[in-house]
Amino acid sequence: MRATFIKALAEIAERDERVMLLTADLGYTVLEEFAGRFPSRFFNVGVAEQNMLGVATGLAESGFIPFVYSIATFATLRPYEFIRNGPILHQLPVRIVGVGGGFEYGTAGPTHHAVEDVGVLRLQPGITVIAPADYNQARTALETTWELDGPVYYRLGKDEQRLVPGLDGAFSLGRAQLVRDGDALLIVVMGSVAPEAVAAAEELSVDGIECAVLVVASVSPVPEEDLIEQLSRFRTVLTVEAHFVTGGVGSLVAEVAADNGLGCRVVRNGVKVPLGAPGGSEAYLLDHHGLSRGKLREAARLAVLQTASI
């Protein structure tokens, strides 16, 4: 996803000289595509994320469109107040690119696991928050949002292979994408864990349980109308995210349901405990937190059974 994103960014930079790329010394082997083609618009600012956001604020106020790049935790949490008082307060076109949302940096450990990045940025009005589900959607998201007036946060994964069946790279601000339909349950998923959610739905289909899957990549602005339309069809909704259950898509769905008086039950699947040992690979950690296809399949099956008994 990140390599596709940077390649697409380089194509945009070819057309528009305002586009710059700053990194806090991360992205080795990923950013060369841009750095090699546009050396005067590429800056490795060193391991200093706060300064990177401050510099980007000054550049953006001067007419540039700076993309700032780091691992998702370092891109969002360390410079959070700079993001708040800089691009958001001044409504400037700074683009924050956070790589490795969720557990993608598996064995690197909790310092590298971004499970609150979407939440802390989503609660700020005035910043667009995008969490693509696969690399094709990431490319479309970039191509349709890079020129927005205000700031944008892109939460990217590292995978360049897996595609979400039925998504076909679709993205539209303020919209959600229904990639699979069904009548037993609605699964609403955010981010690169989406293929796991679709795989769970496919496995349940074998047993005759048909689940709909809705991808929410445009977290802010909220795809309110699409969510209302889909949530209204179901008695139970299962949310899935490699993120704390508070603040991310689970909260978002619960808010839309409550705000609009929808009658559905919202079952949130995400990280519910503080980060820490045991560690392991991304696959291990997703399973540990109930986010592997197998665990999601059983969570969905249970939710369907509970719904039938209500």
Partner 1 sequence: MASGSILAKEVRRIVLEQSKRANVGHIGSALSIADIVAVLYGGAMRIDSPQEKDRDRFILSKGHAALSLYAALHLRGWLSKGDLDTFCGNASFLGVHPEHTLAGIDFSTGSLGQGLSIGAGVALASKLRSSSRRTFVLLSDAECNEGSCWEAITFAAHHALSNLVAIVDLNGQQAFGDTQDVLSMSPMAERWRAFKWDVHEVDGHDGEALLEAIESLDMSSGPPHVLIARTTFGKGVSYMERQLKWHYWPMSDIEYDNARAEVERA
Q: Is residue 64 near partner 1 by the rule CB under 8 A?
A: yes
Under rule CB under 8 A, which residues in 14-43 are in contact with partner 1? 40-41, 43
CA dihedral 156, 157, 158, 164 (to 10 degrees): -120
Minimum distance of partner 1 from residue 84's CB (angstroms): 9
Q: Is position 51 an interface residue for partner 1 (rule: CB under 8 A)?
A: yes
105-110 contacts at long range (C-beta below 8 A, 24 or more positions apart): 105/71, 105/282, 106/279, 106/280, 106/281, 106/282, 106/283, 106/284, 106/285, 107/279, 107/280, 107/281, 109/279, 110/275, 110/276, 110/279
Q: Which stretches does DSSP call E strand in the chain?
A: 19-23, 42-44, 65-71, 95-99, 128-130, 152-156, 177-180, 185-190, 211-215, 218-220, 236-244, 265-271
Q: How far is the CB of 25 from partner 1 (least distance, A)?
A: 12
Q: Least Å distance between CB 90 and partner 1?
A: 6
Residue closer to partner 1 by CB (options 85, 260) is 85
Closest to partner 1 by CB, 31 or 56: 56
Determine, following the binding rule CB under 8 A, whether residue 58 of this chain makes contact with partner 1. Answer: yes
Q: Counting contacts by CB under 8 A, is residue 86 touching partner 1?
A: yes
DSSP letter assigned to residue 114: B
Q: Does 55 bind partner 1 (CB under 8 A)?
A: yes
Decide: is 50 part of the binding site for partner 1 (CB under 8 A).
Answer: yes
Residues 181 to 210 in contact with partner 1, rule: CB under 8 A: none
Residues that bind partner 1 (CB under 8 A): 40-41, 43, 45-46, 48, 50-51, 53-64, 81-82, 85-86, 89-90
